Amino acid sequence: MPSLPSKQLETFPNPKPARRYEILFDAPEFTCLCPLTGQPDFAHIKVRYIPDEKCIELKSFKLYLWSYRNEGAFHEAVTNQICDDLVAATDPHFLEVTGDFFVRGGVRTVVTATHKKG
């Protein structure tokens, strides 16, 4: 059965919760729609995080990013939403999402949203 886009982020137990280590996801093919024109916006999404008790399961992350393909979202909103959703799913020590959006109308947009556990 083929996979479908999903907002459901799956996690698994951190295999080394006592060690602070960094995980990087690099997704150079992110797509959403411009909420004003309906035209596709393309971006390179990078996620860096230091897990606490849970790690993000990679396939669910891919399906999660895919779920934005037909949604209208401003660059700032979608980058912050991805950050919020990943934090809600994993409660990491640190998480940073960078949305590097391709040039449109001569302007490139880079948005970075960061979370640090208090």
Q: Read off the pLDDT of residues 31-79 as tens digits, 9 standing for 90 and up.
A: 999 999 999 999 999 999 999 999 999 999 999 999 999 999 999 999 9
Residues labelled catalytic? 34, 41
Whole-model pTM: value is: 0.96
Q: Structural domain of residue 39, as residue ranges?
A: 21-116
Rounded CA separation 17/51 (Å): 7
Rounded CA separation 31/46 (Å): 13
Query: Binning pLDDT at 50, 70 and 90, where does residue 23 land?
Result: very high
Q: What is the total count of domains within the chain?
A: 1
Residue 5 maps to a domain: no
The strand order across the sheet containing 40-50 reads: 23-33, 40-50, 94-104, 107-116
Residue 14 maps to a domain: no
CATH of the domain at 96: 3.30.1130.10
The label of the residue with tokens 């396939």 reads 59
Tokens of 97: 């999402």
